[in-house]
């Protein structure tokens, strides 16, 4: 049997009397995370996103940590950003990640793409509001005719 209580689900065996000895309480967020994992494993990305938003619970899991780390280290930003899009990361970490992406794009002279991310991505717009000098440094770097990592 299952009994839902505000933040907990009580699971037990036997009758519903208080004397029933076999029961456990499971936090509602844990149940939501199991559902989120199911949705992710079955490629139900819209449902995953909606449940995360409505429940205020993020799965924040990657399929393969080693592959994800290797993608970051090798600068495979298309793969990295596809994974990051499914995560709910803290603002400062997201800003650091986007900053690294922008710097690498500038280094590769992909200036239009770097500027597009700087000016239109949520993480970089937030960075501009919260740390304008840091954002300005990236804009300056993107405006130079050559790559200078010291600036």
The pLDDT, as a whole number, for residue 88 is 83
Range 7-19 average pLDDT: 58
* 121 DSSP 8-state letter: S
Which tens digit of pLDDT belongs to each residue from 58-111? 888 888 899 999 998 998 999 999 999 888 889 999 999 999 999 999 999 999
How is the beta sheet containing 23-27 ordered, strand by strand?
2-5, 8-12, 23-27
CA separation for the pair 139, 131 (Å, rounded):
13
- DSSP string for residues in 22-54: -EEEEEHHHHHHHHHHHHHHTT-HHHHHHHHHH
Confidence band, pLDDT 50/70/90 cuts, at residue 1: very low
Predicted TM-score of the model (pTM) = 0.68
Q: Where are the domains of the chain?
A: 2-55, 89-143
Which tens digit of pLDDT belongs to each residue from 17-38? 655 555 566 788 888 898 998 9
């Amino acid at each position: 049997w299952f009994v839902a209580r505000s933040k907990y689900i009580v699971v037990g065996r036997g009758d519903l009397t208080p004397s029933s000895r076999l029961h456990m309480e499971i936090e509602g967020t844990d149940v939501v995370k199991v559902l989120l994992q199911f949705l992710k494993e079955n490629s139900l990305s819209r449902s995953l996103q909606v449940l995360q938003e409505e429940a205020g619970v993020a799965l924040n899991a990657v399929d393969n940590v080693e592959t994800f780390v290797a993608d970051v280290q090798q600068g495979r930003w298309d793969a990295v950003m596809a994974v990051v899009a499914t995560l709910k990361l803290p603002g400062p970490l997201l800003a650091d990640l986007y900053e690294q992406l922008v710097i690498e794009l500038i280094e590769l002279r992909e200036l239009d793409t770097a500027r597009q991310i700087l000016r239109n991505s949520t993480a970089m717009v937030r960075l501009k509001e919260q740390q304008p000098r840091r954002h300005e440094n990236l804009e300056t770097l993107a405006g130079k005719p050559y790559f200078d990592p010291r600036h």
